[in-house]
């Protein structure tokens, strides 16, 4: 949709979370290795991130790799990490990517030194931008909450909901308004559990490499038609 059409929607999400699922099945349907699915998935990620920038979405979070995804064959994990490094390396050469403040959600300790250095670089280089692009890598909500509780442990007699929000990777950002999952599964898979407490959920059978701007438009239109009550009557 055009920016004008977007601005005319009855309601707009401040924060969109996206579970990019279905790369493996996309490849399987074509008798290709799963790695090819991830490669095309990475292309979709770039295109949709740029579209979110164009629409001036305040925060968008992409789930790239979960704390549970280490269970996959080493070759597949290495391939995903390599795609991540390639994205970091050329993100500055792509104009669209320069206009968002990038933040990485997750425990980066097990990532390679090369990835860690690039991540730091990208975060520093984009620090001045207003709109935010979160990339969840080695991210799991349980891990995030355990880390947050340990950070808060012993610091205060009583911990508030705000203390917890501020100890999460998403500190300072609004909660998720719209959670999109591609690939047909209707589950959260340990993604932004705290932050999605009142998110509108949008599931589509479209496999992530096939997801286009018009598919995000459908999710945005769905969101605009929801009546959010947050527990109140009407």
Binding site for Mg ion (CB under 5 A): 21
Q: Which of 69, 121, 131, 190 is catalytic?
A: 69
Is residue 16 a contact residue for ligand IPE (CB under 6 A)? no
The interface with ligand IPE within residues 70-89 (CB under 6 A) comprises: 80
User: Which of 17, 42, 61, 63 lies at the binding interface for ligand IPE (CB under 6 A)?
Assistant: 63
> Nearer Cβ to ligand IPE, position 56 or 185?
185
175 a catalytic residue:
no
Q: Which is nearer to ligand IPE, 165 or 189 (CB)?
A: 189
**65, interface contact from ligand IPE, Mg ion, none, CB < 5-8 Å by kind:** ligand IPE
Q: Which is nearer to ligand IPE, 63 or 223 (CB)?
A: 63
Out of 13, 23, 103, 202, name the contact with ligand IPE by CB under 6 A.
Answer: 23
Q: How far apart are the C-alpha atoms of 142 and 230, rounded to whole Å?
A: 24
Decide if 21 is catalytic: yes
Q: How many residues bind ligand IPE (CB under 6 A)?
A: 17
SS (HEC) of the chain:
CCHHHHHCCCCCCCEEEEECCCHHHHHHHCCCCHHHHHHHHHHHHHHHHHHHHHHCCCEEEEEEEECCHHHCCHHHHHHHHHHHHHHHHHHHHCHHHHHCEEEEECCCCCCCHHHHHHHHHHHHHCCCCCCEEEEEEEECHHHHHHHHHHHHCCCCCCCCHHHHHHHCCCCCCCCCCEEEECCCCCCCCCCCCCCCCCCEEEECCCCHHHCCHHHHHHHHHHHHCCCCCCCCCC
| Chosen residue from 11, 25, 131, 193 binding ligand IPE by CB under 6 A | 25
Closest residue to ligand IPE: CB criterion:
24
Question: Which residues of this chain interact with ligand IPE, rule CB under 6 A?
Answer: 19-25, 63-66, 69, 80, 183, 185, 187, 189
* Residues catalogued as catalytic: 21, 69
């Amino acid at each position: 949709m055009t920016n004008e059409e977007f601005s005319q929607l009855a309601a707009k999400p401040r924060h969109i979370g996206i579970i990019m699922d279905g790369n493996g099945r996309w490849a399987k349907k074509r008798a290709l290795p799963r790695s090819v699915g991830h490669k095309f998935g990475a292309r979709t990620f770039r295109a949709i991130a740029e579209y979110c920038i164009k629409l001036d979405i305040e925060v968008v979070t992409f789930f790239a790799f979960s704390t549970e995804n280490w269970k996959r064959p080493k070759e597949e994990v290495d391939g995903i990490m390599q795609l991540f490094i390639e994205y970091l390396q050329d993100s500055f050469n792509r104009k669209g990517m320069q206009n968002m403040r990038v933040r990485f959600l997750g425990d980066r300790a097990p990532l390679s030194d090369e990835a860690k250095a690039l991540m730091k670089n990208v975060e520093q280089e984009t620090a001045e931008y207003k709109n935010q692009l979160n990339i969840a890598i080695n991210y799991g909500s349980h891990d995030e909450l355990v880390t947050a509780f340990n950070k808060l442990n012993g610091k205060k007699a009583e911990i508030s909901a705000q203390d917890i929000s501020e100890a999460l990777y998403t500190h300072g950002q609004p909660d998720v308004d719209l959670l999109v999952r591609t690939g047909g599964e209707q589950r959260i898979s340990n993604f932004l559990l705290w932050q999605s407490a009142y998110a509108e959920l949008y599931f589509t059978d479209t496999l992530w490499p096939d997801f286009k701007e018009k598919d995000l438009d459908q999710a945005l239109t769905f969101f605009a038609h929801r009546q959010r009550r947050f527990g109140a009557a009407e």
